[in-house]
Chain A
Amino acid sequence: AQSVTQPDIHITVSEGASLELRCNYSYGATPYLFWYVQSPGQGLQLLLKYFSGDTLVQGIKGFEAEFKRSQSSFNLRKPSVHWSDAAEYFCAVGAFDTGNQFYFGTGTSLTVIP
């Protein structure tokens, strides 16, 4: 069965520090992977996606993610965090053989300390 695990419920980083948010997935076919960000009271905004090709993908707001098939991981990174990055981050896998269904992780809440 498809599933996504985000092992870190909450992460706190200082402004200017680097960030890595972990995501592991379980999916039998070729995974299509996404990271979304949700600010308080808002909907989900797409940060980046991986469908195929280069395993290092660039997204908006200076984020990047690396797909590692051997580790079933798709970790999100940012070299220098800004206070405005404080939000909830969701990793998702797309199951395109079943009506384009997405399976989401439980999310990681990011706090940024000045």
Chain B
Amino acid sequence: DAGITQSPRHKVTETGTPVTLRCHQTENHRYMYWYRQDPGHGLRLIHYSYGVKDTDKGEVSDGYSVSRSKTEDFLLTLESATSSQTSVYFCAISESTEPETQYFGPGTRLLVL
């Protein structure tokens, strides 16, 4: 299994508060991704990173920001959490720009009250 951890694994927060989720990898892979998983939608890409300090938006980026100051860490921040951001968040990594498999972390379950 790819060395990917996510923290926290579960979080309950209130509407309007900022929340930061962390993804940590030990594989030294260049690409990192944040997805959210919702019933009826599958997984949708929020943001991704193609190197330290290099990030780009995905399909559902509104209300989210990311940062990557080290190869191994990719942070997802909900600037002001809303109930619509209640979801399961997955981090993924891949090695290169060539056709490449993405490997997934265990997920973070977030509930916004």
CB distance from B47 to the nearest CB of A (A): 11
Q: How large is the interface on B (under 10, 10 to 19, 20 to 34, 35 or more residues)?
A: 20 to 34
The reply to whether A106 and B104 form a contact with Cβ atoms under 8 Å apart is: no
Cα-based distance from A15 to B87 in the complex (angstroms):
32
Give the residues from 44 to 98 in chain B that come closer than 8 angstroms, CB to CB, to chain A.
Answer: 44-45, 48, 50, 56, 58, 90, 92, 94, 96-98
B101 partner residues in chain A, CB cutoff 8 A: 34, 46, 49
Quick check: is B113 within 8 A (CB to CB) of the other chain? no
The reply to whether B99 and A43 form a contact with Cβ atoms under 8 Å apart is: no
Q: A90-B42, A101-B58, A106-B42 are in contact. Are A96 and B104 (CB under 8 A)?
A: no
CB distance from B53 to the nearest CB of A (A): 15
Give the residues from 19 to 64 in chain A that come closer than 8 angstroms, CB to CB, to chain B.
Answer: 32, 34, 36, 42-46, 49, 51
What count of chain A residues pass the 8 Å CB interface test?
24
B33 partner residues in chain A, CB cutoff 8 A: 102
A42 partner residues in chain B, CB cutoff 8 A: 106-107
The interface of chain B, by Cβ under 8 A from chain A, is 31, 33, 35, 40-45, 48, 50, 56, 58, 90, 92, 94, 96-107
